[in-house]
Chain A
Amino acid sequence: MALVLNEEEEMLRDSAKGFLKDKAPVSALRALRDNGDALGYSRELWAQMADMGWAGILVPEEYGGIDFGMVGAGLICEEMGRNLTASPFLSTAIMAVTALRTGSDEQKQKYLPAIAAGKSVIALAIDESVKHDPAQTAMTASAHGNGYRLNGEKAYIIDGFDADALIVAARTSGEIGDESGVSLFIVPRETSGLSQSRTVLLDSRNYAAAKFEDVDVAGDALIGTLDGGWAVLQDVLHVGRAGLAAELLGASQQSFEMTVDYLKERKQFGAIVGSFQGLQHRAAHLYSELELVKSASLSALQAFATMPAMAGAASALAKAKAGEVAILTANEAVQMHGGIGMTDEFDIGLYMKRVRAAQELLGDYAFHADILARLRGF
C-alpha cells in the first residue's frame, strides 16, 4: 500500500479544508470559549457536518452512513486540528461507531442511523483517574434482574457532557489491572442513578465526569460479550488514537506554518528574524520531525483497512510521535513569536492548549512507548 492519498481521499480532504475554514475557524472556538458555551461545541455545526456525511463516515451504508474508512476520518481530524474545530466527531463518529459496529443488529439499528444523521452524540466513558489506563477499570457492573447494575465513577469523558448516551467500560469479573473481565454497556443519558457534570479543561472542549449510583440497565445494553469487552475496547482505542494523532498533526502543521510565516515577516536588528541561523535550524528540525509525524499518521490510518493486525501498533506509534512533536512545535511556536506568542489575543496559545490536552487523551507518549517496547521484546 503506497503511503499517498488516492483521488477520493484528496477530494474529501479538500472539501473538509474548505468547509472548516469557512464554518469552523479558530475564531469559532474562541467564541465558544468566550461565551462560556455550556456544551463546548455547536450543535448546528454538527448537523451541518452530518449533512456532509461526516457523522456517518464509518457507518455502513445500510445504516445510513458513507462507510468511507479511517483514512477519510483521519483527514477530517487533521483539518479539524488545523482549525481547532470543536465537535463530537472523534467521540461519536469515530469511537462510538467503532464500538457499535460490533454490536447486535438491534443495537446497530437503534443507534447508527441516528448518529449518521447527526441526531445522536454518544461518548466513551473509559478513564477513571488522571492517567489513561483502561486495565485499571474499577467501575463495576453486576447481574441484576434481567439486566445489570452499574456502580462507579468515570472522569474526563470526551464530549460526554449532555451526550445522548455513554458507552461505559465496567468490570464484570476479574481484578483491577486485568484485561479480561471488562464489559461494555451503552447507557442513555436519562437513566436514573446517572449524574453528570461538565469538566472545564484548558482547551475549552466538552468533557464530563459521570457518577453511576445503582444505575440499572436492561440486558440489551451490553455491547458484545460479557467479560469480553477488552478486544472491542482496543479497537475503539486504536481508532481514537489514530484520530487524535491526525488532529495533533493538523494542529502542529498549522502552528508551524504560522511560525514560519512570522519568521519571514518580523524584523529585529535591521533583519528579518528568519535570517538568523539559530532560528532557521530549529525550524528546519521541526520540519523534519513533522515529516515523520505525517508518515506515522497516514500509515496508522491506512492500517485499519490494509493491515488490521498492525493497526494497534501503528496507532500507538502515530499517537506517541504526534504527541511528542506537537508539544515541541507548540513550545517552539510560542518562543519564536516572542512576547506576542504569550498573548491570549493571538491564536498560537490556543494551539498550545489543545495539543497539550490531545496528547494526553487516550494515552500519552510514555504510555505508547511502553506498548511499543513490549512489542519489540524489551
Chain B
Amino acid sequence: MSDLEEFQAQTKEWLAQNCPPAMRKPLRSEADACWGGKDFEFTCPDQKLWLERMGAKGWTAPQWPREYGGGGLSHEEAKILKQEMAAINARSPLLSFGIWMLGPALLKYGSEEQKLHYLPPIVRGEVRWCQGYSEPNAGSDLASLQTRCEDKGEYFEVTGQKVWTSYADKSDWIFCLVRTDRDAPKHNGISFILFDMHSEGVSTKPITLISGKSPFCETFFDSVKVPKENLVGTLNKGWDIAKYLLTHERAMIGDAGGGLFGNRSIGQLAVDSLGTDAQGRLNDSALRADLAGAEIDGWAFLLTMERMKDEAKAGPKTAQGMGARSSMLKYYGTELNKRRYELMMASKGMGALEWEGEASQDGELPRAWLRTKANSIEGGTSEVQLNIISKRILGLPGA
C-alpha cells in the first residue's frame, strides 16, 4: 500500500468511528452550522463532540502546520480527507472566518508569537473572529476607509465605524483595517490590527436582512485601546495583507458555489416536486433544460476549483496570477449559486414561497435564496471581480 492509500484507509476508519451520526447530514443553512467561539450555543451534543474531535486532530484546518494546531496534511492528503468526509456525508465541523481568512493572512504576515497565540484557538473553534473591512463610505472602494487609529505611545486608540460586519455581535475578536496615516495616498496609510470585541468602546447594532435574519451589524469604535503588539505586519502596510486575505475570502465564497450545503442535484429536488414523464424525464421540459445547464456549469466549476488547486500545487510555472484567479472563482461561483437557488425556487413553485410554518421550517428555502443574493456583493461585488480579471489577468487598460 502506498502512503496515500494507507492514509486513506486510516482516515476512513477514523471518520467511521469518530463522526457522530447527527453530523452525517448535509448542512441546511448557515444557522445550522457550527461557528465556534466563547459564547457559541451548540445545536446538539454531537455538534460539540464533532468539533472537539476534529479540532484535536487539527482537521478543521487540515493543511495548517502542526506547530500551530493544524493538521499538517499535504495537498493530496487534504483532498483525501475531503473525499472521505463527503463519502459519509460528514459536514464541516466548523465554519470560521478565522480559518478561511485570518489564518492564511497570519501564516504569511504574522510574527511567530502571533501565530502561536492566535492560530491554535482558531483550529479548535474556541475563538470566533469577525471582519472589520467595510465602512459606510468604503465599500467597493475599500481603500478609502476612514476608521482612525492613533499611536498613543503605550497603545493604539481606534475610533470610527464599520458596517456589514458579519456576526460582529457574536464574535470574540475582530481583524480590522484602520487608517494610521491620514496624509499618505489612500493605499499607503492603512494598517491591519486585531482586537478583542469585548474591549471598552466597542458596540454593535444588528441589521436585519431581506431574509428576515440579522447576521450582520453596524460596528462602532469609540476610543478603543488596542495593545501595540496587536498590529500585524508593518505599520501603514496593511493594504497588502488586506488584499491577500481577500483572495482567500473570495476563494472560500466561490467554493460555496460548488455546493457547501449538500450535493444532491437540484434536478432530483425538482423531480420530487413535479414528477416525471414516462421516460423518467422531469415534467417541465423548459425547467429541465435550465437545470441541466446549471448541472453542467456546476460540475465544470468544481473541476475548475480542483484544477486551480492542482496547478498551484504543481508550481508557480502554471499557477500564474493565482490571486487574481480567486476573483474568477468568486465571480463564477457566486453567480452560479444564485442561479441554483433560483432553480430551487422554481422547482418548488408556490411551496417555495412559504415563509412561516413547520412544513417549510419557517421558510428555510426562500430565506436561503434571499441570502444568496449577497454572495455576489460580499467579499467584493461581481463587478469588482470582473474589473480585477480585466486588469490583472487580461491586461486591459484603466480598469
Contacts and interface: CB of A to CB of B under 8 A. Distances in A.
Are A and B a genuine interacting pair, yes or no? yes
Interface of A: 2-4, 260, 263-264, 271-272, 274-275, 277, 280-281, 283-285, 287-288, 291-296, 298-299, 317, 320-321, 324, 366, 368-370, 372-374, 376-378
B57 to A, nearest CB: 25
A378 B281 contact: yes
A202 B397 CA distance: 36
A321 B385 CA distance: 22
11 contacts: A3-B311, A271-B398, A275-B399, A277-B390, A295-B300, A296-B303, A298-B307, A317-B300, A366-B289, A378-B265, A378-B268
A292 to B, nearest CB: 4
Nearest to B301: A292
A interface secondary structure, majority: helix
Contacts of A275: 396-399
Given A275-B398, A378-B265, A4 B292 contact: no
A374 B399 contact: no
Contact of B268 (A3, A287, A376): A376
Nearest to A285: B386
A264 B296 contact: no
Contacts of B364: none
Contact of A369 (B296, B301, B394): B296
A253 to B, nearest CB: 13
B interface secondary structure, majority: helix
A218 B210 CA distance: 73
A369 B292 contact: yes
Given A264-B396, A292-B332, A317 B310 contact: no
Interface residues of B, number: 46
B271 A280 contact: no
A291 B304 contact: yes
B397 A272 contact: yes
Contacts, number: 133
Contact of A321 (B281, B296, B328): B296
Contacts of A2: 310, 313-314
Contacts of B300: 292-293, 295-296, 317, 321
Contacts of B331: 284, 288
Given A263-B396, A317-B296, A370-B292, A378 B270 contact: yes
A4 B280 contact: no
Contact of B311 (A4, A263, A288): A4
Contacts of A272: 397-398
Contacts of B314: 2, 4
B280 A277 contact: no
Contact of A280 (B292, B306, B311, B396): B396
Given A275-B397, A378-B267, 6 more contacts: A263-B396, A291-B332, A292-B304, A295-B307, A368-B296, A374-B281
